[in-house]
Structure 1
Amino acid sequence: MSKDGQHIIFDMDDTLIHCNKYFDLILGEFFELMTTWFQEYGVTTEQIRTKQMEIDVAGVDKLGFASANFPQSLIDTYQFFCKLHHKTPVLHEEEELFKLGLSVYDQEVEAYPGMVETLDTLQNEGHRLYLYTGGETRIQKRKIEQMKLADFFEDRIYIRQHKNVRALEEILSTGQFNRPLTWMIGNSLRTDVVPALTAGINSIYIKQQREWHYNLVELKHEPHNVLFTVSALTEVPEIIADNAITNS
């Protein structure tokens, strides 16, 4: 009897490395600027947060994970409140917001606890590892290089601006994937879990304490595949081991 090595596809941002916390830091600065600029109109942080989130999610739906989407959402939010309160937009304020939004991509790359140990364990157990991340190639490659992720994924790295069922199907159809032996590991119900279950592969959902609103969708039907929910990356190897298929 022998256990087959499995195909394990990892998301990167907020699965292997931190991402959302940097957006939260930039948004904190944005809210401070906005409440100062619109103080006389009584605009609240919650009103600004709600509108920015609405604009940001709509932009990702349309353009995917384009780097300009986030800074543009800050400007669009600013312009919305200018129009609402009959305030003339100020060019240098818009330029400040765009620069602030872009600065999120210059933040330090930081691994989640246990990233190296988790990938080492899975690799040493004979599993084949793949990286599938959403975003622009230049930005994502910088993170991959800084974290030395090619040591684990080699050339099995897929970067897509749109991360959905179609993108995952394209990856699965071009590789030698045995779907019952394939897993998608990620923190997003929208871009990781739902596409995986739709494509007929297994999934592990890494639930974060604070999640980007875009990632949260309802699972509308009982999945026919294996789905686990965990709170830490380090839980993944045990789940993979416990659900290995044994062939004689």
Structure 2
Amino acid sequence: MRHTDQILIFDADDTLWENNVVFEQVVQDFLGWLDHPTMNRTELREILDDIERANSAAHGYGSKVFLRSLHDCLEKLRERPATVAERQQILELAKALIDYEVELIPGVTETLAELGARHRLLLLTKGDPEEQQRKIDASGLDHHFRSVHIVAEKHAGTYLRLAEEQALHPERAWMIGNSPKSDINPARRAGMNAVFIPNANTWALEHDEVDPADERVLTLARFPELLDHF
């Protein structure tokens, strides 16, 4: 049975289009370039994850903060400031982020078009406003949404404010995304429903446990499966 006349709130990165796979490739290239004499990639990645976690909390998200984390990681491991040549090399390694073209998840365009005829669609994404807007513009999807919201962080308060601003009834609102930490769990804490669509490339820092007994969380394997429920 389909839910009718609902408010569907969509995440963007790794829900509507691939995103973290590009960052992950840069990370792997960076770790290989480091060629640390005593640490393996797993150990190096743990250090980088800790640095990214701290920088995200202090400075937000996006490619600029990511590059900062790469520089900080290098300097921590080398125990000295990065040289001009090393900074240039990191920029070269991260070139894929600069040249990145939005790659939509299969079925997104058609699914949004059909859902928009039956429901009210909103977009809620976190990150650097300029960078996120650039991706939204490049995606060509913005016309599907009644409103677009770019926020610094997604927590329960973010969803409560959105509900108040948009006069949403939480029991009729569904947050749709790939991140348990940012999409599913905080939306549920705000009293909304959620649709969890896992992405194999989801950033490690967005992982969290989703309550398997929560009947107000719908888990789908593919984006077009939304049409079976809404």
TM-score exceeds 0.5:
yes
Matched, 1:108 2:98: no
Identity of matched residues, %: 28
Match of 1:120 in 2: 113
Residue correspondence of structure 1 range 100-179 to structure 2 within 5 A: 100-101=93-94, 103-124=96-117, 126-154=118-146, 156-179=147-170
Cα RMSD, aligned residues only: 2.2
Match of 1:214 in 2: 205
Match of 1:34 in 2: 34
Distance of 2:60 and 2:204 partners within structure 1:
15
Match of 2:87 in 1: 94
Could you list the structure 1 runs, at least 4 aligned residues long, displaced by more than 6 angstroms after superposition.
Answer: none
User: Larger Cα Rg: Structure 1 or Structure 2?
Assistant: 1
Deviations 1:152-210 (A, max 9, x none): 014x0000122222222211110121211110000000100011101101000111223
Match of 1:43 in 2: 39
Match of 1:244 in 2: none
Shift of the alpha carbon at 1:13? 0.3
Residue correspondence of structure 1 range 196-235 to structure 2 within 5 A: 196-219=187-210, 223=214, 226-235=216-225
* TM-score, normalisation: structure 2: 0.90
- Structure 2 unaligned blocks of 5 or more: none
Task: Report the residue type matching 1:111 in the other structure.
Answer: L
Number of paired residues?
Answer: 228
> Could you tell me whether the CA contact under 8 Å between 2:171 and 2:193 is conserved in 1?
yes
Q: Please, which of 59, 69, 74 is the counterpart of residue 63 of structure 1?
A: 59
- Structure 1 unaligned blocks of 5 or more: 241-248
Residue 76 to residue 208, structure 1, CA distance change in 2 (3 Å):
same
Distance of 1:42 and 1:75 partners within structure 2:
20
Shift of the alpha carbon at 1:112? 0.1
Which moved further from structure 2: 92-101 or 131-140?
92-101
